[in-house]
Structure 1
Amino acid sequence: MTANEDQEMELEALRSIYEGDECFKEVSPVSFQFRVGDLEDCKAFILDFTWPEMYPETAPQISLDAFFNNRISPETKESILSKLEEQVEANLGTAMMYTLFEWAKENQEELMENHKAVVTALLTSRCEVTTTTSASKKKEKKEQLSKAQKRRFISRTDHKGELPRGWNWVDVIKVNKCFSPPLHHSGVG
């Protein structure tokens, strides 16, 4: 059997096994993402796999570069990848995606045992200060809304009092401008 035939058979198997599973995503016929853990789990991570032309005779490319993984330290990512590469070596020459996915799920605790969330201290402290001061101001003065303000507020909700998803999302560009250092021009003149 050629590598391409092996890939086609494994792809069919993966599609049938993970049909409807939100943890598995086929990015392309040779590229996949697999989420280990629930979305709310602080120790969850997403694995990216890409098959080279000669897979399964050669190892798949594995990365943890998904944006979802930005909170994981580089050391933890390195540890996960090295342990996965050991599994790849043990399964080289065979269809191994299912084996790798299931191994990662079963060993999630061990893979993330040294996990410490990556947080920018400056951003966290500024956000906490802003949140606490704005919360204390709101407690001091109870806001009285006019009828027009109440109507506008109601029109933004789904008439059950629930605001739509994303109503309080922060504009990333504004946040970056807020926390970026000022530019100094050393112009000649």
Structure 2
Amino acid sequence: MTANEDQEMELEALRSIYEGDECFKEISLVSFQFRIGDLDDTKAFMLDITWPETYPETAPQMSLDAFFNNRFSAETKQLILTKLEEQVEANLGTAMMYTLFEWAKENQEALMENHKPVATAVTSGSDGITSSIAKKKEKKEQLTKSQKRRIINRTDHKGELPRGWNWVDVIKLSKTGGKDDDLA
């Protein structure tokens, strides 16, 4: 069989095996993405695989450059690729995509044993570590133009409110009456 015939057969097998599986995505006829682990798992990773023209006689091109993998260090990515390349060498000359995907799923814990998440939302400040949540609290409230005009109209030329602006109008209170007036 020629390489193209092998690729067509493997592609058909992959489509039937992973039909409806959200972990498998066919980018093109020779390019695929496999997600190893659940979306909410901190140790989940996305593996991009592309077949060269002579696949399966030559090794597929593997990459962990997807945005999904930004939380991993370069050392962790290199370890995963090295282990997967060992599996590729062992299966060279045969259809190996299913084997690679299943091997990665079974060995996810071993591949990620030295993984320490790369902190992207945490920045270092002068007083220690400041999270992005603290930055959100510092954000000032935005006023509309009409709200700003009302504030300016209530203040004098110095930016201060006039004396007695929050006083209660005593005359209006006496006209409305109180509880004592109703009893008499």
Query: Do the two structures share a fold, i.e. TM-score over 0.5?
Result: yes
Deviation at 1:41, TM superposition (A): 0.4
Question: What's the RMSD between the two structures over aligned residues?
Answer: 2.0
Determine whether 1:125 maps to 2:130.
yes
Total equivalences in the alignment: 136
State the Cα deviation string for residues 103-159 of structure 1 (Å, max 9, x = none).
00000000111111112442772513225667xx9xxxxxxxxxxxxxxxxxxxxxx
TM-score normalised by the chain length of structure 2: 0.70
Give the match's secondary structure for 1:122.
strand
Please report the TM-score for the alignment, with normalisation by the length of structure 1. Answer: 0.68
- C-alpha deviations, 1:67-96, integer Å up to 9, x for none? 000001110000000000000000000000
**What does residue range 75-154 of structure 1 map to in structure 2 within 5 Å?**
75-120=75-120, 121-122=122-123, 125-131=130-136
Q: How does 1:1-189 map to 2 (within 5 A)?
A: 1-120=1-120, 121-122=122-123, 125-131=130-136
Q: Distance in 2 between matches of 1:51 and 1:125?
A: 44
Deviations, residues 3-43 of structure 1 (Å, cap 9, x unaligned): 00000000000000000000000000100000000000000
Higher fraction of helix: 1
Q: Which runs of 4+ in 1 moved over 3 A?
A: 131-134
Q: Which amino acid in structure 2 is aligned with residue 128 of structure 1?
A: I
| Gaps in structure 1 of 5+ consecutive residues | 138-189
Question: What are the ranges of 5 or more consecutive residues in structure 2 without an aligned counterpart?
Answer: 141-184
Give the Cα separation in 2 of the matches to 1:109 and 1:48.
19
Task: Give the secondary structure class of the aligned counterpart of 1:34.
Answer: strand
